[in-house]
Structure 1
Amino acid sequence: MKAVAFKQTGLFLVALLCLSSIAMGQSSITKTDLSIYPKPEKGFKQMVIEVPYSDKDTNKKIEFTVGKWIQVDACNKHGLQGTLEKKDLQGWGYNYYIFKTEGNVISTQMACLDKKTVRQFISAQPEMVRYNGKLPIVIYVPEEYDVQFKIYKAEEDIYQASEVKQ
């Protein structure tokens, strides 16, 4: 009887742990107080990129891009038209970004014979910024858009360029 009760209690604890993990994964946990940033304008949402601090922050860069998942033909290259404006958070010395777009998508004009379409993240020009594990990167985007980012890391090795003798 004790083994059955222990099994049920164990299963209950595992289920509870899984549910709490799912709930935590869906919530937005930030290490910085974002209340100092402006509230999003109507039709916009606030996105934040937070990366872990390391003593090698100076060897890293972050590239982020704003885009939208849409259905496009499979043979052309596509891009989102829009502008990314860098703003100063008055009194704090931090920056934030505002992305504005009319939603226009540009593409190459190859004839797609198979008429196949795919769902792709179509993005605007990427922005490369300094990696800083102590500060977030705050971006305001239209509600139906998202932000993706990559972290680039430099090698420790330093190379010397060759001089071209004239």
Structure 2
Amino acid sequence: MIKFFSNLTILILLVSSTLLFAQNIKVDTSVFPKAQKGYEQFIIEVPHSSLEEDANKKIEIFVGKYMDVDTCNRHSLMGEFQSKDLQGWGYSYLEFNTNGDAISTMMGCGDNKMVSKFVTGQSYLTDYNGRMPIVIYVPEGYEVQYKIYQAMPEQFKALQTPKK
């Protein structure tokens, strides 16, 4: 009987931790098109904030995948973002297109050590809107990561060079 309860407790803990860490999308994105064959849809739900706070924030979006690369060169995924209008809604969404090619600098690495690194293409910087999700379509096998930047409320004055 004790073994049954301990197994039951473990099962309850596993299920509840899975539910806690699962990402649930809270906004309705049904107006956006379904992902085309070979693509996946990603959604960034930015935390809600006031219009004043939104004006001081930007979001930088990265699409990439983990690759085994050397440690001394810089690596980049070839690809580009396209902003597309959601016809009839006044919203837009992003599409990232790539053929999977990656480029790198060509320095000789003495140790030939390889590491797994998230290799991204050129990032996409956009305004922050805490009331709208950002919808992105990327080829299967790639993932989306992002950073949120916030400006300081102070504005600073640049120094003028003296005239000669």
Q: TM-score, normalised by structure 1?
A: 0.87
1:17-41 deviation per Cα after TM superposition (whole angstroms, max 9, x unaligned): 5522312423x42222111000001
Match of 2:24 among 16, 24, 29: 29
Secondary structure of 2:48's aligned partner: coil
**What 5-or-longer segments of structure 1 have no aligned partner?**
1-7
Secondary structure of 2:131's aligned partner: coil
Q: Report the identity percentage.
A: 46
Secondary structure of 1:34's aligned partner: coil
Cα gap change, 1:19/1:113 in structure 2, threshold over 3 Å: closer, same or farther? same
- How far apart, in 1, do the equivalents of 2:9 and 2:136 lie? 38
Q: How far is the alpha carbon of 1:133 from its aligned partner?
A: 1.1
Q: How far is the alpha carbon of 1:49 from its aligned partner?
A: 0.6
Q: How far is the alpha carbon of 1:160 from its aligned partner?
A: 2.0
2:63 equivalent in structure 1 = 66
1:94-139 deviation per Cα after TM superposition (whole angstroms, max 9, x unaligned): 1101111111100000011111000000000111111111101111
- How far apart, in 2, do the equivalents of 1:32 and 1:118 lie? 37
2:100 equivalent in structure 1 = 103
Q: TM-score, normalised by structure 2?
A: 0.88
Q: How far is the alpha carbon of 1:165 from its aligned partner?
A: 4.6
**What 5-or-longer segments of structure 2 have no aligned partner?**
none
- How far apart, in 1, do the equivalents of 2:112 and 2:6 lie? 53
- How far apart, in 2, do the equivalents of 1:13 and 1:57 lie? 44
* Equivalenced residues, count: 159
Secondary structure of 2:30's aligned partner: helix
What RMSD over aligned residues (CA atoms) do the two structures have, in Å?
Answer: 2.1
Q: How far is the alpha carbon of 1:10 from its aligned partner?
A: 10
Match of 1:113 among 89, 110, 113: 110
Q: Structure 2 matches for 1:77-156, cutoff 5 A?
A: 77-156=74-153
1:49 equivalent in structure 2 = 44
